[in-house]
Amino acid sequence: MANVTVIGAQWGDEGKGKIVDWLASRADAVVRFQGGHNAGHTLVVGNEVYKLSLLPSGIVRGTLSIIGNGVVLDPWALKSEIAKLEGQGVAIDEENFAIADNCALILPIHGELDVMRENAAGAGKIGTTGRGIGPAYEDKVGRRAIRVCDLAHLDTLEPQLDRLCAHHDALRAGFGQLPVDRAALLDALREIAPSVLRFAQPVWKRLKKVRKAGARILFEGAQGVLLDVDHGTYPFVTSSNTVSGTASAGSGLGPNATGFVLGIVKAYTTRVGAGPFPTELQDETGERLGQRGHEFGTVTGRKRRCGWFDAVLVRQACAISGVTGIALTKVDVLDGFETVRICTGYRLRGKILDYFPAHAADQADVEPIYEEMDGWAGTTAGARSWADLPAQAIKYISRVQELIETPVALVSTSPEREDTILVRDPFAD
C-alpha cells in the first residue's frame, strides 16, 4: 500500500482539511512537513467542528500525528491548540503525537518583527499573517534559531541568544524599538518547555520504524504550490517550499517515501491577501462564490478573493509538484450558475502564454483567456457517486482534468467527510 502526500495546488484554502481527514482515517501516521500555525484546516466529524492550525489532521481520530522538522513551531500556539482540542474530547499524548526535536521555534520576537515590517512596508505589503513564520524561517536559515531540543538545555543557551539578539536588536533599533528582553524570553521558554519536551523526539527514527512495519503514512502539506517560496507568485508567497518534494526534507524520510501525490484543487479559485490573481472577479459573481463557499480564512478570518477556475495555474502547479491525481473540492459551490468559465491561457501585451510568468510586473499584466461552458440546474451537494451528479457537472470536471493534464482522483461535494466520490484510491497505488 502506498504512502500519500497531500498538497494544495492553488493558493491554499483548497479544502485540504476534509480530504486529509478522509485519508487520515485510513492512514497509520500523519505528518506535517512545512509551514507554521498560519495554516488553517477545518474538519467536520459528525456534529463536531475542529479548527486546526498546527496539529496534523489525524490527531482528532487518534492517528499517530507528527510535526516534522520542516515546520516552524510556535510552542505557545501549540499549547493553546492542544488545550482547545482536549476540551473537545480529543486525547493527545506521547503515543499519538510527536514533535521533531530539531524543529525550529517561533518566538514572540518573530511575530513582533513580522508586524513591524508589514506596517512599515507601505505599498510593498505582502499580506503576511503576522504570526512570525517568515522571521522564524530566516533565523533557521541564518543558523541562529532556537530549536525544540534547545528547550532541554536552556542553561547553556547564552551563545545562541548572543547570535539571535545581535541580529534582532539591530532590526528592532531600526524600527525604534527596544532591544530583546533576554531575561523575559528565557523565562518564557523555561515556562513553556515542559509542554513541548514531553512530545519531542527524533521523529525520523519513529517514521523509519513505522514505514518498516508496512504502515501507511500521510504527509500533510500546508498552504499551496502557488505560495511556494521558489515556485509561487513571489514575493507574495509563504516562507517555505510547499511542493511535494518538501515532504522528504521536512520529515526525515527519503524521497522514495512520499508515494502518491494528491493535489487539492478547488473548483474555482480563491486567494487571501495581496498578490496577482488573473481570474479574480470583483463583481456580483465573485461575491456569490465567496458567500456560497464561505470564503473566510480559518486562522485569520480574512475574506478571500474569488474568481473562476484557472487551468493554467493548476496545470503549472501539478507539473512542478509531480501531482499524481487531484481532489476537486467545492464543486457544489458552482451549482445553479447559468454559465461557468475556465481560464485556458493568458494574453500578455499581445502574446499568448500557456504558463504563468515569473516576474511580478508580467503577472500583474496578464489577461485571462476564457472558455465558457453551460452550468447545471441540478445539485451536486452531497453526491457520492458519478450517478448523483448532473451531466453538465460531469462535463465540467472532465474538462478540468483535460486542461490541467492531471486525472481526478477524488471529488468533494460538501464539507461532510463522506460526501466524496472516489475515482482512484491514493493508498492503493
Using DSSP's 3-state secondary structure scheme, residue 217 falls into strand
Using DSSP's 3-state secondary structure scheme, residue 135 falls into helix
Question: Is the distance from CB of 44 to CB of 417 less than 8 angstroms?
Answer: yes
Q: Tell me the β-bridge partners of 65.
A: 30, 97
Q: Which amino acid is at 25?
A: S
**Which residues in 110-178 belong to E strands, given as ranges?**
none
- Cα end-to-end distance, the chain, whole Å: 7
What sign for the dihedral angle of Cα 234, 229, 51, 152?
A: negative
13 flagged as catalytic? yes
Spot the catalytic one: 37, 41, 110, 231.
41
Close Cβ partners of 307 (under 8 Å, ≥ 6 residues apart): 268, 269, 270, 277, 278, 279, 280, 281, 286, 289
Q: What is the largest CA-CA distance in the chain?
A: 67
Q: Which amino acid is at 3?
A: N
Using DSSP's 3-state secondary structure scheme, residue 73 falls into strand
Distance, in Å, from the CA atom of 326 to the CA atom of 320, rounded to the nearest integer, reads 14
Distance, in Å, from the CA atom of 178 to the CA atom of 165, rounded to the nearest integer, reads 11
Closest CA to 321 of 233, 401, 223, 225: 225
Cell numbers given for 252: 526525515
Distance, in Å, from the CA atom of 309 to the CA atom of 342, rounded to the nearest integer, reads 5
Q: How far is CA 305 from the centre of its chain?
A: 17
Question: Is the distance from CB of 311 to CB of 328 less than 8 angstroms?
Answer: no
Distance, in Å, from the CA atom of 334 to the CA atom of 139, rounded to the nearest integer, reads 43
354 flagged as catalytic? no
Spot the catalytic one: 13, 21, 114, 139.
13
**Catalytic site residues?**
13, 41
